[in-house]
Amino acid sequence: MNISVNQERLSAELDTLATFSDAPAPAVTRVLWTARDLEARAYFQILCSEAGLSVRQDALGNIFARFEGTEPHLPAVATGSHTDAIPHSGRFDGCVGVLGGLEALRALKSAGFVPRRSLELIMFTSEEPTRFGLGCLGSRTMAGVLSPEKLRGLKDGDGIAFETARSAGGCSGELETVRLPEGCYHAFVELHIEQGPLLEKAGLPLGVVAAIAAPATLRLTIEGEGGHAGARLMPGRRDALLAGSELALAVEKAALSTGAIDTVGTTGFFQIHPGAVNSIPSRAQIEIDVRDIELERRDEVVGQIRAAWDEISERRGVSGALETLNADPPATCAESIVSASQNAAKALDLPFQKMVSRAYHDALFMARLCPTGMIFIPSKGGISHRPDEYSSPEEIKRGVEVLALSLAELAA
Ligand code: GLV
Ligand code: MN
Ligand code: MN
């Protein structure tokens, strides 16, 4: 099949999507159910309707755009990603998979391709954990890993209840209806930027993902004792920041202790109260992210962090319980999807390598519902979650072509 991807149109749409941002360009900030997120969602739905796809939204705001096949009762072949963006990040993470997925469906349509199985493009709600502390809210709930009760119990950093935020975001209906049965899709393929340096280093336009690493997220509020920075002497202080700092160092030590390049540990959130130069920090809020492609090794690192915290908190006389927000198992990509993507790359004469995804994606949870795979394109300098995140229009176009042919094979 001769696929013609409209690179200019796709670039222009990515540019427009990037303008829906709470940070000045080139940075992008688009957090779940903020005004900017709602603008992005509306824009995406308009583009899908203009492309002749039928659009629906579930109770959690996951958006589905469907290209009907000749046998619509068969489980569909799905693709998609997210358009939410963490504070001060870039314009390609997730968006390439959503707008690139749309361009793939448009290219298939204009090539005259008629799928046997329907094709469905999904824009997942809140892949990023920014607002409610938990990533992949949409796909996690679709896969039944996150229950409606748990969702309803969530509060954001400003204390806004999940249900209040959801209705302000224009979503209604029972959260119980979001979960999908296993086998509801025949296949899922997500196109994404690599977010790492390997493809660029290897000079390759394409990665076919074989496995997705597993994240665990820990949250902790440390309660120490505040006071006057001058009048309060050093002995006997119970400084929450210092306790948290020791823990952050313990996270680094635990991640390094495995000796495996695939183990990573990050203390990415650290906020102190009251935050004044002449006041001892009485409280610290911390979030820790630990990942590995091997579940046991990842959990061993989490165990070391817990043991370190027991010792630090006891010695420093501060309190606080380490809460596990999520501890997800890694996913293996299905051979059938890997092979469809490899076939597509070969048909397009594009060299590729098989690789691991060290970032998590909605594909991690879709893998619980159906055979799943991912296609990576290069990220300049391996940079992501930063305003200077970049993949060229040509790189994106090639990824979309591979996606389109993969979808065509899986839906034929
Ligand atoms: C997703 O954005 C991740 O943090 O891997
Ligand atoms: Mn991301
Ligand atoms: Mn992403």
Taking only the tens place, the pLDDT of each residue in 61-76 is 999 999 999 999 999 9
pLDDT value at 412 more than 90: yes
pLDDT band at 373 (very low <50, low <70, confident <90, very high): very high
Full-model pTM: 0.92
- Nearest ligand, CA 384: 2
**Ligand 1 atom with minimal separation from the 135 CA:** 1
Looking at residue 393, its pLDDT comes to 98
What would the pLDDT profile of 217-273 be if each residue is shown by its tens digit?
999 999 999 999 999 999 999 999 999 999 999 999 999 999 999 999 999 999 999
Q: What letter represents residue 394's amino acid?
A: E
> What atom of ligand 1 comes closest to residue 385's alpha carbon?
2
Ligand 1: nearest atom to the Cα of 215: 5
- Determine which residue's CA is closest to atom 5 belonging to ligand 1: 359
Query: How far is ligand 3, taken at its centre, from the CA of residue 207, in Å?
Result: 15
- The preferred substitution site among 361, 365, 376 for testing ligand 1, maximizing ligand atoms within 8 Å of CB, is 361
Give the chain's radius of gyration (CA, Å): 22
The per-residue pLDDT of the chain, averaged, comes to: 97
CATH architecture of 215-327: 2-Layer Sandwich (3.30)
pLDDT of residue 124: 99
Separation of CA 27 and ligand 3 centre (Å): 15
Domain residue spans in the chain?
Answer: 7-213+330-411, 215-327
Nearest CA to ligand 1 atom 2: 128
- How confident is the model over 157-212, as pLDDT tens digits? 999 999 999 999 999 999 999 999 999 999 999 999 999 999 999 999 999 999 99
3-class DSSP assignment, residue 135: coil
Rounded to 10 deg, the angle between the 393-411 and 95-110 helix axes is 60
Ligand 1 closest atom vs CA 195? 5
Q: What is the DSSP letter of 175?
A: G
Give the residue from 37, 44, 6 showing the smallest Cα distance to 22: 37
Q: What is the mean pLDDT of residues 34-56?
A: 98
pLDDT of residue 214: 84
Q: Which helix (H) or strand (E) holds 80?
A: strand 76-82
Tell how far the Cα of 38 is from the centroid of ligand 3, in angstroms: 18
Return the C-alpha torsion angle 63, 373, 102, 142, nearest 10.
Answer: 0
Average pLDDT over residues 120-127: 98
The length of the chain, given as a count of residues? 412
Q: Which residues line ligand 1 (CB under 6 A)?
A: 128, 359-360
Q: Output the DSSP codes for 122-165.
A: EEES--S-TTTS-S-HHHHHHTTSS-HHHHHT-B-TT--BHHHH
Distance between CA atoms of 384 and 362, rounded to whole angstroms?
Answer: 17
Homologous superfamily, domain 7-213+330-411: Zn peptidases (3.40.630.10)
pLDDT digits (tens, 9 = 90+) for 264-323: 999 999 999 999 999 999 999 999 999 998 999 999 999 999 999 999 999 999 999 999
pLDDT of residue 1: 86
Tokens for 252, please give them: 């680094």
**pLDDT for 44 beyond 90:** yes
